[in-house]
Structure 1
Amino acid sequence: MKDSWAGSDHKYLDETAVKTIGPITAGLFGGSSESGQTKNEDGFFVMTGDDWEFAVILDGHKSAESTTLVMKEFDKHDDPIRTILCKQPSEAIKQLQEFLSAFFMNPDFLSSCRRVQGETACLIAARKEKYLFWFSIGDCVLHLFHPELAALGEYQQNHRSFYEWVGQVNTFDLSVPCFSSGVKELRKGTSHILLATDGLIECPDLPYVKPEAVFAEFRQRTHEDGVLHLMTEASRAKILDNCTILSWKARVEQEGSMPSDLIK
């Protein structure tokens, strides 16, 4: 299953929307025109398989051209991504990292980036069986909720890195490309994975800078209703920035790693 969207397609100004793509729910709010918003520069690209999900969230600057370029480029490469993620986790994660590095450093792609107006943050997250992988350029966020991790205060997985983009200004055009990536072993049970652009977390009238406040909105609601509630709260607060999230839950049956003194 595959879907994509860019703010240039539909702005969602003063409008909330929820889209379901297999197990993934997308939440969309374009910002408040009353607060001065006139455009939507966010976007996403999503693919799903039997035991994997691949999600890209984009937060453009100056225009949505860079967002659209990256989204369309991923759409053109859906077959190799699917092939990689259908492999065993040990191969899939390694090859996905290599693929994404080559993807962003492709000379033709870099040439196209120089011709667009503006640039975009880009966060990619992929789950394969019990492993969560991410490749992060810029300041979008990846949150993970599991009771065992929450008990230790662990939610955010990636590091928000400012002054990193893809597009007209491009950190992959530097002599040393700048990005961050990581892999997390998911705990046994249900993990909730959520990607968000900064519109969700930077509104001073909402508590969502704290990831525990984000996940609290799902406690007494269905998954889809939780996503819709987050977008409704953003609309109620009349936030200026575009707000986009991708959210899904994954079930893991295997035990996670434990310290040796707790192994029975």
Structure 2
Amino acid sequence: MNLDAHNTAQSAELVIRSLESIMHEIHEGLLTCTEYVFETIRQLIVNLFSSHDFINQCKDIVGETSCLICVRKGPYLWWLNIGDCVLYLLHEELQKMGQFAMNQRNFYEWIGNQSAFNYGIPCYTTGLRELRPGKNMILMTTDGLLEFGECHYNNPRNIYECLKSQFESSLDTCVQELLTAVHVGKGRDSATIISWNIENNSPACYPSD
């Protein structure tokens, strides 16, 4: 999970505490067969954020947060996003087709005092993607990486070009390079990155011809 709070950190703290309260159920959900696991997790999270107790707690805090939640099980990657954090699935086959980001940034959408869950019908985006064969790089980031200086990393290909070198070095080093660029570029917004690699040995879908 990646959070990007503004005004105060109260919204991020509330989301973390609330998700911790259902962590046992999430763990149980992850043990179900892959066919149902992601729908189980989605229902748990949406029910939590839609509950009267959570909505009432949101009314008492100052500020809001974006929230990107990502789950990988087997050869599948699932996410639920509220706001403008971004999830990237980086793979050589996908980059040749110009595909990097799994979700679109959504503005005027948060959890907190002003919440996408406060108006009857919850607003969020969710998706499910099959990993490609071989090494897949997964990266979650707040918008602080995308909006500093000349917005170099707003072009996802530049993120891919930076991280692909990790095949010869370490992922930690590559992520540190991204964060250093934000620091040197005097980025003013929070830049929080979560990234990891998955080696997928399962077959994937290809065209029949």
Other-structure match for 1:16: none
Q: How far has the Cα of 1:206 moved from its partner? A: 4.6
Aligned counterpart for 1:230 among listed residues 174, 178, 184: 178
Aligned partner letter, 2:153: Y
Aligned-partner SS, 1:256: coil
Aligned counterpart for 2:192 among listed residues 207, 220, 244: 244
Matched, 1:218 2:166: no
Matches within 5 A, 1:77-88: 77-88=22-33
Q: How far has the Cα of 1:88 moved from its partner? A: 1.5
The structure whose RCO (Cα within 8 Å, separation 6+) is larger is 1
Aligned-partner SS, 2:136: strand
Aligned-partner SS, 2:117: helix
Query: Are 1:187 and 1:256, in contact at CA under 8 Å, matched by a contact in 2?
Result: yes
Aligned counterpart for 1:94 among listed residues 13, 20, 39: 39
Other-structure match for 2:55: 110
Aligned partner letter, 1:184: R
CA distance in 2, matches of 1:102, 1:251: 32
Deviates more, 1:89-98 or 1:160-169: 89-98
Deviates more, 1:78-87 or 1:203-212: 203-212
CA distance in 2, matches of 1:249, 1:98: 27
Aligned-partner SS, 1:260: coil
Q: How far has the Cα of 1:71 moved from its partner? A: 1.1
Matches within 5 A, 1:142-161: 142-161=87-106
Aligned-partner SS, 2:8: coil
Matched, 1:63 2:3: no
CA distance in 2, matches of 1:257, 1:219: 23
Aligned-partner SS, 1:208: helix
CA distance in 1, matches of 2:38, 2:190: 31
Q: How far has the Cα of 1:215 moved from its partner? A: 2.2
| Structure (1 or 2) with the greater helix fraction | 2
| Structure (1 or 2) with the greater strand fraction | 1
Matches within 5 A, 1:119-198: 119-198=64-143
Other-structure match for 1:3: none
Seq. identity, %: 34
CA distance in 1, matches of 2:158, 2:203: 27
Aligned-partner SS, 1:219: helix
- How many residue pairs get aligned? The number is 206
Aligned-partner SS, 2:152: coil
CA distance in 2, matches of 1:125, 1:142: 8
CA distance in 2, matches of 1:165, 1:111: 15
CA distance in 2, matches of 1:247, 1:190: 13
Aligned-partner SS, 2:180: helix
Deviates more, 1:213-222 or 1:162-171: 213-222
Query: Are 1:206 and 1:237, in contact at CA under 8 Å, matched by a contact in 2?
Result: no
Regions of 4+ moved over 3 Å? none
Deviates more, 1:177-186 or 1:201-210: 201-210
Instruction: For structure 2, list consecutive stretches of 5 or more residues without a partner in the other structure.
Output: none
CA distance in 2, matches of 1:142, 1:246: 10
Q: Deviations over 1:15-58 (max 9, x none)?
A: xxxxxxxxxxxxxxxxxxxxxxxxxxxxxxxxxxxxxxxxx111
Aligned partner letter, 1:57: N
CA distance in 2, matches of 1:139, 1:218: 21
Aligned partner letter, 2:39: K
Q: How far has the Cα of 1:205 moved from its partner? A: 3.2
